[in-house]
Amino acid sequence: DTAVSQTPKYLVTQMGNDKSIKCEQNLGHDTMYWYKQDSKKFLKIMFSYNNKELIINETVPNRFSPKSPDKAHLNLHINSLELGDSAVYFCASSNQGHGGNEQFFGPGTRLTVL
């Protein structure tokens, strides 16, 4: 299946732990994103990478560190997890360029910090 996939789907962990979420897309897109969706369902952009280069870095604590080993993968590592990090994290991908920016989303990772 052509898609954006994320692992894990659910992640429950203790405060202070370090965790990673992985994202892969096989759509041949050159740009990938991480979004955070809070309890009110608001989608907030966190990071964007184009061809492995960071191009969007919103005001996100530096405990969050994205890594893009190649343009098909964008992982998110979170250090010293806090209660407020609990949310659903979505990965997305698109092709940058003239004509629009149709972003395709993964299924999400629900992170619960206890």
Contact flag: residue 55 with another protein (CB under 8 A): yes
Contact flag: residue 25 with another protein (CB under 8 A): no
Contact flag: residue 31 with another protein (CB under 8 A): yes
Contact flag: residue 72 with another protein (CB under 8 A): no
For 70, the 3-state DSSP assignment is: strand
Nearest-5° Cα angle at 88, 82 to 93: 120
Cβ(34)–Cβ(89) under 8 Å?
Answer: yes
For 4, the 3-state DSSP assignment is: strand
| C-alpha span between 76 and 39 (Å, rounded) | 20
Q: Please tell me what DSSP assigns to residue 31.
A: E
Contact flag: residue 97 with another protein (CB under 8 A): yes
Q: How far is the CB of 70 from another protein (least distance, A)?
A: 18
Contact flag: residue 105 with another protein (CB under 8 A): yes
Contact flag: residue 56 with another protein (CB under 8 A): yes
Contact flag: residue 102 with another protein (CB under 8 A): yes
Candidate list 45, 57, 67, 77; residue touching another protein; CB under 8 A? 45
| C-alpha span between 38 and 82 (Å, rounded) | 14
* Residues at the site binding another protein, with contacts judged by CB under 8 A: 4, 31, 40-43, 45, 48, 50, 55-56, 58, 90, 92, 94, 96-108
